[in-house]
Amino acid sequence: DAKTTQPTSMDCAEGRAANLPCNHSTISGNEYVYWYRQIHSQGPQYIIHGLKNNETNEMASLIITEDRKSSTLILPHATLRDTAVYYCIVRVAWFNTGANSKLTFGKGITLSVRP
């Protein structure tokens, strides 16, 4: 699986949009970009994933550059409860076999939302 690079930390004001960047310059054509987050003392929580098109769900939006070498997770109106470690992961999707379905978590980016 391709390696991802994320800043160590960032902060944003409550109510503002939080834009979390991720570089994945070695991504392959069949690799998806996933975002998870982990709030203190809880298990990782799935947020969103995409292949090449921008995606949006009730939690966030995912913007993937045209060359797919980077992406941005957008939390449109950050709240204090969004303070967490956010993980950007790329993973092969083909055949969705057990060997390819594992997630490789790096150190993530710590988002701090301030009042």
Partner 1 sequence: NAGVTQTPKFRVLKTGQSMTLLCAQDMNHEYMYWYRQDPGMGLRLIHYSVGEGTTAKGEVPDGYNVSRLKKQNFLLGLESAAPSQTSVYFCASSYLAGDALSNQPQHFGDGTRLSIL
Residues that bind partner 1 in the complex, under the rule CB under 8 A = 30, 32, 34, 41-46, 49, 87, 91, 93-99, 101-108
> What is the closest distance, in whole angstroms, from the C-beta atom of residue 45 to partner 1 in the complex?
7
d(CA 45, CA 36): 5
Q: Tokens for 46? A: 């799935």
Between 5 and 16, name the residue whose CB sits nearer to partner 1: 5
d(CA 107, CA 88): 9
> What is the closest distance, in whole angstroms, from the C-beta atom of residue 10 to partner 1 in the complex?
18
> What is the closest distance, in whole angstroms, from the C-beta atom of residue 41 to partner 1 in the complex?
8
Other C-beta atoms within 10 Å of 40: how many?
7
State the Cα angle at 107 between 15 and 22, rounded to 5°. Answer: 60
Between 37 and 75, name the residue whose CB sits nearer to partner 1: 37
